[in-house]
Amino acid sequence: MDAAQILLVVMWVGLTLYALLAGADFGGGVWDLVAGRSRAGMPQRRLIEHSIGPVWEANHVWLIFVIVVLWTGFPPVFAAVMSTLYIPLTLAALGIIARGAAFVFRKASTELWQQRLFGAAFALSSVLTPFFLGTVAGAVASGRVPPGLAAGDLVRSWLNPTSLLGGVLAVGVCAYLAAVYLCDDAVRADLPALAEGFRRRAVATGLGVGAVVLGGIAVVRWDAPRLFGGLTGRALPLVVAGAVLGLLSLALLWRRRYLAVRVTAAAAVAAVMWGWPLAQYPVMLPPALTVGEAAATPAVLGATLAVLAVGALLVVPSMAWLFLLQRRSPYDPGAHG
């Protein structure tokens, strides 16, 4: 592997972690949205807040990591994606502001109307942000973002069948991961009734996401034949692994093996996420811009990899400690946050 390939893998690891960690935080917002009226939904909202409170900021940094690695390692790809997909990315950015700000504002406010207002902003933006990010993925995967500044169609690049599929799938996956993680969190917080509720939702969302994927196969075949070819060719083992892990997760949910399903559900999502780049490699922007052509100069790739390696030594143990603290922290149903 050359430096550009390694950096691409590192970037994709970052994107996977963003999806698995921050994705679940967004999913928490989705369940917050449908938790019901203020009083009835209170226990669920408390649990969601307890689960994502200490970690969401650290999880969010993975997105910045991916953006920075993309512009450092593959600047023409960054410029093309950001300029053509100006509209959905601006909307996603606004969703990120609304989500993060509203979440802390809700925690800092004491009156019900404020909590409702900030809570609604938090929950709504938790749905919209992954949706728009999903449309961006669909736009790139279906080859609608050509190299160059704003060279693609400003609107149809992200309003098309594959992008909409990407958006719906992103929201579905976030909600699914959150429900799975929350089952385990609820059991640990000694709230078996809530765990049952999230288990039902995890099963339902899992089936829903599965159905969207099955339908999506037809959409991709018709709308993005090149991607379809890759997914059913070189990336087929990963696609199959994703499907098997998805079914296994449903079985584990059925048997209430919450810790195990945390792992298999995350692995299922990761398998599908790695299928995409494998399907189109070495092309970064279909039809023709390859990794080698887009990559920065060797000195930049080397320096970036070195810095990230040292950074990992700092970040990985600290993050493990943070997650440990969060898992060990006792759940206090009366506490606010």
Partner 1 sequence: MGIGGGVDAVVTALVWTAGPASAADMAAARLQMALSLGWHIILACMGVGMPVLLLSAEWRAIRTGDGDSMRLARRWAKATGVLFAVGAVSGTILSFEMGLLWPGLMGIYGEVIGLPFALEGIAFFVEAIFIGVYLYGWDRLPPVAHLLSGVPVLVAGVASAFFVVTANAWMNQPVGFVMENGRVTEVSPWRAMFNPATPPQTLHMIVAAFMVAGSVTAAVYAVAMLRGRRDRYHRLGFLIPFTMTAVFAPVQVLLGDYAAKFLADYQPAKLAAAEGLFLTRSGAPLSLGGFAVDGELRYAIEIPNGLSLLVGYSPRTVVEGLDRVPVADRPPVTAVHLAFDTMVGIGFFLLLLSVWYATAWWRRRDLPRSRWFLRLAAVSGVAAVVAVEAGWVVTEVGRQPWTVYGKLRTFDAVNPVPGLWAGAVVVTLVYVVLTVATVYVMRRLARAPQKSAAPQEPE
Residues in region 74-103 near partner 1 by CB under 8 A: 75-76, 78-83, 86-87, 89-90, 92-94, 96-101, 103
Interface positions, 55-74, toward partner 1 (CB under 8 A)? 55, 57-58, 60-61, 63-65, 67-69, 71-73
For partner 1, which stretch binds (CB under 8 A), given 148-156, 167-175, 185-193, 234-242? 148-156
CB of 308 to partner 1, least distance (A): 6
Q: Between residues 168 and 268, which has the closer beta carbon with respect to partner 1?
A: 168
Q: What's the closest the beta carbon of residue 247 comes to partner 1, in angstroms?
A: 32
Compare residues 159 and 244 and give the one whose CB is closer to partner 1.
Answer: 159
**Closer by beta carbon to partner 1, 84 or else 205:** 84
Our CB check for partner 1 shows the closer of 1 and 297 to be: 297
Size of the site for partner 1 (CB under 8 A): 73
Minimum CB separation of residue 244 from partner 1 in Å reads 33
Q: How many CB atoms lie within 10 A of CB 22?
A: 24
* Near partner 1 by CB under 8 A: residue from 9, 34, 108, 214: 108
In terms of phi and psi (left: phi > 0; alpha: psi -120 to 50; beta: otherwise), the region of 229 is alpha
Shortest distance (Å) from residue 86 CB to partner 1: 5
Name the segment binding partner 1 (CB under 8 A); options: 198-206, 222-230, 240-248, 302-310.
302-310
Q: Nearer Cβ to partner 1, position 100 or 229?
A: 100
Q: How far apart (Å, rounded) are the C-alpha atoms in residues 196 and 186?
A: 9
The least CB distance from residue 4 to partner 1, in Å, is 11
| 105, 120, 217, 278: which one binds partner 1 (CB under 8 A) | 105
Interactions with partner 1, residue window 160-199 (CB under 8 A): 160-161, 164
Backbone angles phi, psi at 289, to 5 degrees: -75, 115
The answer to whether 85 and 136 are in contact (CB under 8 A) is yes
Closest CA to 180 of 79, 249, 107: 249
Say whether residue 236 binds partner 1 (CB under 8 A).
no
Q: Does 28 bind partner 1 (CB under 8 A)?
A: no
Whichever of 311 and 333 has its CB closer to partner 1, that residue is: 311
Smaller CB separation from partner 1, 211 or 325: 325
- Position 120 contacts partner 1 (CB under 8 A): no
Judged by CB under 8 A, which stretch of 138-146, 193-201, 276-284, 324-332 contacts partner 1? 324-332
Angle, vertex CA 280, rays to CA 247 and CA 164, nearest 5: 65
- Residue among 29 and 230 whose Cβ is closer to partner 1: 29
For residues 29 and 44, the answer to whether their CB atoms sit within 8 Å is no
Which of 218, 254, 325, 327 is the binder for partner 1 (CB under 8 A)?
325
Nearer to partner 1, 112 or 310 (CB): 310
